[in-house]
Structure 1
Amino acid sequence: MKMITSRQHRLLRFLLQQQEYATLLSLAEQFAVSEKTIQRDLNIINDYLAEWNIRADKKAGAGVLLVAENMADLLQLEQKINGENDDAGGIMGHARRVKIASQLLSETPKETSINKLSERYFISNASIVNDLRIIEEWITPLGLQLIRSQSGTRIKGNENSVRQAMAALINGLMNHQEPGSVNHSRLDPGSYKALVQYFGEEDVAFVQALLQEMEQALAYPLGEPYYINIFTHILIMMHRRTRGNLLDNPGYVTRSHVDDPVFVVAGKMVAEIEQRIGLPLPEDEVWFIYQYIISSGVLVMENQSGSLLHAELFSDEARDITLHLVTKFSRLINIELNLDQQLYEGLVVHIRPLINRLNYQIIIRNPLLDDIKNELADIYYLTRIAVEQVFVRYTPRAVSDDEVGYLAVHFQAAVERQIARKRVLLVCSTGIGTSHLLKSRILRAFPDWEIVGVVSSATAQSVTQQMAPDLVISTVHLPEGETPVVYVTAFFNDADIRRVTDKLITEKLHQASEAYAVTQL
């Protein structure tokens, strides 16, 4: 059975409910993605539907509609899709279960009862029992237990695991691409709306000011997903403390970080939080905030002279891992990336806090993960291989899909930079005017390329041997040779640009992915 992502799962469920054709534009707006992404998702869904004898019928101007020769196939698929939504992974798409899980996490270690939950949500005890079963399946991998006893029902675990689970629920409510005209400081409208809904506008404004002071004291800003992550976790800590629900941390021992300026900043933040809530906080909350700060990625600013990096953002371990990772990835794709300074700096700054996140078991969400897996499938796959082979030397903890997604973007950018400067030979036999047009349009699409010559097919082979270009672009068929050839139209349109990119990047990466897969058989 072919696999589909969570967004494709939601798109399929949406299409199953439609009785009329839905346009790509309406679907793109519904799921807050581009029409190109919807088109790509539909192609993958079509492959998935083939096993059900169903297809996504597309009509120009009308859109797409699921059709099947046998209506029973559609009904059977709908039952399966809706059934999958009842699995543990379906908790995020089920408002009542999110509320119940949120209540249990927020109030733990306090207990509640099935009867109280039934009365609160106006459903039967049997439905509550089913919801609790699904919630239990969801929290178990997070290191938490659902305890049922005669006295009541509660969640059991350590404070860090409870906060991670609460953060996962809140992240599920965030629509980072939600349209809106107002950006509330560093928070995008979707994140702001979700946090205000959960914690209230005043507490959100307080943490916003607190983090602004933190970034000023650190003298560098945090990257957006890390900023939202620490923002959420501080709100959760305040929320649980004001309700008297903080759990003890038996593994905590007093740590002295007086010489670490980040630890001093964390201490000042805790003092401000205590003043805000009017309650003392446990000593380990300074360590908690310190962990989140040093586990956060930095927003690297750039100007005409390059990236503005602080020396404290590097570490010997991060440098070592970066060098090994770039070397391993270069070998996988047979492209030398070790001299790419931009790749090195981007990775080393990212990997230092990544190591801390692995050590402290801090989870970061990547809101673009589905798109990365779809649009950069080969890069993601190869990055996953390189990460697994390199990080095992440094930590026993697995690197999550979200983290691999962030690393894959760095490698994709590096691979694309490899095609920025190419020596290209043009082969065109349709006249000098057309050849000048072709040359002009190629340089407009790839301004850093050098056109080493424009020749006819009769002289192409000899000129190729003499000039040794990196690539031949031709409007006519040529005998096969060692130099890669891309066939284009004389007008070099968008489809031709894609063909060139595919030849230089996509095909090479796909071949590398297939070659590695064969070695594992």
Structure 2
Amino acid sequence: MKVLTSRQHRLLRFLLKQQEYATLLTLAEQFEVSKKTIQRDLNIINDYLVNSNIRVDKKSGAGILLVAENTADLMQLEQQINNENDDADSVLGHARRIKIASWLLSETPRETSINKLSERHFISNASIVNDLKIIEDWITPLGLQLIRSQSGTRIKGNENDVRQAMAALINGLMNHQDPGTVNHSRLDPGSYKALVQYFGEKDVNFVQVLLQEMEQALAYPLGEPYYINIFTHILIMMHRRTRGNLLGSPKPVSRQHLEDPIFMIAGEMVAKIEQYITLSLPEDEVWFIYQYIISSGVLVAENHSDHAWHTELLSDEARDITLNLLEIFSNLISIDLSQDKQLYDGLVVHIRPLINRLYYQINIRNPLLDDIKNELADVYHLTRIAVEKVFTHCPQQTVSDDEVGYLAVHFQAAVERQITHKRVLLVCSTGIGTSHLLRSRILRAFPDWEIVATVPSDQLPSVTQQMTPDLIISTVHVPEIETPVVYVTAFLNDTDLQRITEKLITEKLHQARDAYTATQS
């Protein structure tokens, strides 16, 4: 449902009038939101424009500008958005479609009529028909069908797909950055607020206690996104059961895990849920909760890496996939990451539940995905390449963008750790005092670096050949040389530090991405 909100409509109209690049800060001040919010809006606008000849162009240091193959395309877009619903109508329409889709999913397999939906939302039958077309486009890729017949309209699909779609809608309502002073247990304020609005405070508080007891029984905590994921899905299961709408499981319930301690914990949870809702649950709900527990990542503390569960949760398959990922990513960036134990441990703990999520078709949401795609663009792209190479043997199990985003953060941290040990040669011709100042500030910013020498520019070639530094930092222009060179001011300000980091990380990743793209074209 790629529908622009009121603010996104206004942002697009603003950009249409711009003749010059506008910075994110300018746009953020114009619309009284954060730069990250503007960045997310721009991503949605880019998706909105995907089938047109217009795109949002981002130029480093300049900002944002709409560009098109010709002016006529821009004029046509302006006419198009002016012909669409007014700003208020657009955002209300989007919210209404979410409510209709949520209602249909919640009530399936029961039918409803267009007349009832029209009366419920105070709009015409024609508008409801248009809403249903948009909803159908959204649910079809999720394995669901919108069935229209003389008796009514309903969504058709299996119980798992219905719950996944409901979870996607609820996740869309969660504002994980919502400010608040009260932290309701493990839930952040934005998630708590969205779940309470959807299911009611009593049910949310019950599941909160249920999961607290589950973590105590497991003797380890779940990672935050997985905690919210299982929290949401248990609420959906309870909601569908109390309304009498549970669909039968398309697969027979497996009995091979009856002696598994985690399966027993899942059984105890189902018994507590049955007691709470005063209704019995199908036998396969134990299996359902079991799947979600073993598909949840563990919240790993660095000083707890030797706990028994740390070994129990891993597998030969997880280790093999992790080593394969490490090898492929290392080859892509021409940096050997195989000896980075912190990277290996972080990946292997994530990979085991990832395998289960792929097998059981469980989706998790990454609330930081937009930021990762924007701020770690090269590493995210290279991680996606590595993931697709590793999982090429099981094409039916596509690794989602959300999953790739989590893996990309591990790789970004590892790449940044690579710059902690460097042999640096300084070129400074402004005097002994400033060269000492430059040296001290570099070591304060990068304490593990070794300054091998400080030389004037005319001695650079011979000293470089003799000392083979990893990097040259210079306050004056130097002749071309194979060793990377970063130009800075004598006082090494924040811009200089950013320039050094970009030279060591960003440029290398850009080159790796471009090199791979060139080999594929």
TM value normalised by structure 2: 0.88
The structure 2 residue matched to 1:14, chosen from 2, 10, 13, is 10
Q: What are the Cα deviations for residues 125-174 of structure 1, in whole angstroms up to 9, with x where unaligned?
A: 11111111111111111111111111111111100000000000001111
2:198 aligned with 1:198, yes or no? yes
User: What's the counterpart of residue 249 of structure 1?
Assistant: 249
Matches within 5 A, 1:29-428: 30=33, 33=36, 76-80=76-80, 94-303=94-303, 310-393=310-393, 396-428=396-428
Structure 2 unaligned runs (5+)? none
Q: Which range moves more in the overlay, 73-82 or 105-114?
A: 73-82
User: What's the counterpart of residue 3 of structure 1?
Assistant: none
For 1:128, the aligned partner's letter is I
Cα 1:23/1:479, change in 2 over 3 Å: closer
Q: What are the Cα deviations for residues 406-438 of structure 1, in whole angstroms up to 9, with x where unaligned?
A: 111111111000001111111111111101111
Q: What is the distance in 1 between the residues matched to 2:174 and 2:253?
A: 35
Please give the root-mean-square deviation of Cα atoms over the aligned residues, in Å: 3.6
Cα 1:471/1:54, change in 2 over 3 Å: closer
Cα pair 1:300 1:307 within 8 Å, conserved? no
Match of 2:426, SS? Answer: strand
Aligned residues: 504
Q: What are the Cα deviations for residues 5-64 of structure 1, in whole angstroms up to 9, with x where unaligned?
A: x899986523245699995554686368378x589979999x99x9669999xxx9xx99
Match of 1:362, SS? Answer: coil
Q: What is the distance in 2 between the residues matched to 1:423 and 1:7?
A: 52
Q: What is the distance in 2 between the residues matched to 1:417 and 1:469?
A: 18
Cα pair 2:56 2:65 within 8 Å, conserved? no
Cα pair 2:40 2:370 within 8 Å, conserved? no
Cα 1:71/1:386, change in 2 over 3 Å: closer
Deviation of 1:320 (Å): 0.1
Q: What is the distance in 2 between the residues matched to 1:182 and 1:195?
A: 15
Q: What is the distance in 2 between the residues matched to 1:54 and 1:209?
A: 46
Q: What is the distance in 2 between the residues matched to 1:241 and 1:42?
A: 35
Q: What is the distance in 2 between the residues matched to 1:292 and 1:354?
A: 11
For 1:357, the aligned partner's letter is R
TM value normalised by structure 1: 0.88
Q: What are the Cα deviations for residues 314-341 of structure 1, in whole angstroms up to 9, with x where unaligned?
A: 1110000000011001001101000000
For 1:419, the aligned partner's letter is I
Deviation of 1:448 (Å): 1.6
Structure 1 unaligned runs (5+)? 1-5
Deviation of 1:288 (Å): 0.2
Cα pair 2:4 2:45 within 8 Å, conserved? no
Q: What is the distance in 2 between the residues matched to 1:215 and 1:516?
A: 43
Q: What is the distance in 2 between the residues matched to 1:7 and 1:464?
A: 57
Cα pair 1:13 1:78 within 8 Å, conserved? no
Q: What is the distance in 2 between the residues matched to 1:92 and 1:31?
A: 23
Match of 1:118, SS? Answer: helix
Cα 1:43/1:366, change in 2 over 3 Å: closer
Q: Which range moves more in the overlay, 230-239 or 176-185?
A: 176-185
Q: What is the distance in 2 between the residues matched to 1:55 and 1:411?
A: 27
Cα 1:137/1:54, change in 2 over 3 Å: closer
Q: What is the distance in 2 between the residues matched to 1:102 and 1:267?
A: 29
Q: What is the distance in 1 between the residues matched to 2:499 and 2:46?
A: 21
Q: Which range moves more in the overlay, 256-265 or 194-203?
A: 256-265
Cα 1:119/1:227, change in 2 over 3 Å: same
Cα 1:93/1:331, change in 2 over 3 Å: farther
Cα 1:84/1:432, change in 2 over 3 Å: farther
For 1:197, the aligned partner's letter is Q
2:510 aligned with 1:510, yes or no? yes
Q: What is the distance in 2 between the residues matched to 1:451 and 1:42?
A: 46
Cα pair 2:473 2:485 within 8 Å, conserved? yes
Q: What is the distance in 1 between the residues matched to 2:41 and 2:250?
A: 51
Q: What is the distance in 2 between the residues matched to 1:396 and 1:359?
A: 10
- Alignment identity in percent? 73
Q: What is the distance in 1 between the residues matched to 2:343 and 2:486?
A: 28
For 2:412, the aligned partner's letter is Q
Match of 1:392, SS? Answer: helix
Deviation of 1:479 (Å): 2.1
Cα pair 1:13 1:82 within 8 Å, conserved? no
Match of 1:153, SS? Answer: strand
Q: Which range moves more in the overlay, 111-120 or 386-395?
A: 386-395
Cα pair 2:221 2:298 within 8 Å, conserved? yes
Cα pair 2:415 2:505 within 8 Å, conserved? yes
Match of 1:479, SS? Answer: coil
Deviation of 1:349 (Å): 0.5
Cα pair 1:91 1:97 within 8 Å, conserved? no
Q: What is the distance in 2 between the residues matched to 1:280 and 1:344?
A: 44
Cα pair 2:53 2:73 within 8 Å, conserved? no
Deviation of 1:398 (Å): 1.1
Cα 1:99/1:220, change in 2 over 3 Å: same
